């Protein structure tokens, strides 16, 4: 948004910014990969609640442990290969086509974002394992899914305050 605003102002003043489009394309990785761990934390990612939402007790926590562990392994693989991809981009001096901006900084953000996500998944995995062995304890470090009624009641409280 800052780049777009700057581009509009510079065009109005008669000095368009060359290479704006390439910089905006490179900046997409900042928003796409660095925010995914936060989405995991607040449970705003896509989930299959049809099955897990109907489970209770230890079975629910076992399914959560399995799914989180599987996701953690996938993210570890993605970290490795995205790091190698960014490193290769740095070594060969990969640049954009028109204005020769280096692409490795944007590519390096991908394994960084995945690493933050992996830490978040590890934290959730510990929380789910804890709930598997202590199912009556208070949930810690895991997203708690709320029913539509609970969400509506929270909204009502906010409006009344």
Per-residue pLDDT of the chain (161 residues; tens, 9 = 90+): 787 888 889 989 988 888 888 988 898 888 888 889 999 988 887 777 788 878 888 999 999 999 999 999 999 999 999 999 999 999 999 999 989 999 999 999 999 999 999 999 999 999 999 999 999 999 999 988 777 898 899 999 999 97
Domain residue limits at 48: 2-160
What whole-number distance in Å separates Cα of residue 39 and Cα of residue 45? 6
Sign of the C-alpha dihedral computed for residues 157, 144, 132 and 61 taken in this order? positive
Q: Which of 148, 125, 120 is nearest to 35 (CA)?
A: 120
What's the total number of domains in the chain? 1
Grouping H, G, I as helix, E, B as strand and the rest as coil, residue 95 is strand
Over residues 17-61, the pLDDT tens digits come to 888 889 888 988 888 888 899 999 888 877 777 888 788 889 999
Q: Provide the total of helices (H) and of strands (E) in the chain, helices listed first.
A: 7, 0
Place of tokens 């700057």: 6
Return all residues near 61 (Cβ < 8 A) that are at least 6 apart: 128, 131, 132, 135
What whole-number distance in Å separates Cα of residue 61 and Cα of residue 53? 11
Q: Give 74-77's long-range contacts (Cβ < 8 A, gap of 24+).
A: 75/114, 75/117, 75/118, 75/121, 76/118
């Amino acid at each position: 948004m800052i780049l777009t605003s700057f581009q509009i102002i510079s065009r109005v003043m008669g000095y368009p910014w060359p290479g704006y489009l390439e910089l905006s394309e490179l900046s997409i990785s900042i928003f796409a990969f660095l925010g995914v761990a936060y989405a995991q934390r607040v449970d705003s990612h896509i989930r299959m609640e049809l099955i897990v939402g109907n489970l209770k007790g230890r079975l629910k926590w076992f399914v959560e442990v399995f799914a989180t562990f599987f996701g953690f392994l996938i993210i570890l693989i993605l970290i490795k290969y995205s790091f190698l991809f960014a490193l290769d981009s740095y070594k060969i001096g990969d640049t954009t086509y028109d204005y020769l901006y280096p692409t490795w900084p944007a590519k390096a953000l991908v394994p960084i974002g995945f690493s933050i996500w992996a830490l978040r998944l590890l934290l959730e995995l510990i929380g789910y394992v804890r709930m598997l062995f202590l199912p009556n304890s208070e949930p810690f470090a895991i997203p708690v899914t709320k029913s539509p009624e609970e969400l509506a009641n929270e909204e009502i409280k906010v409006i009344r305050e």
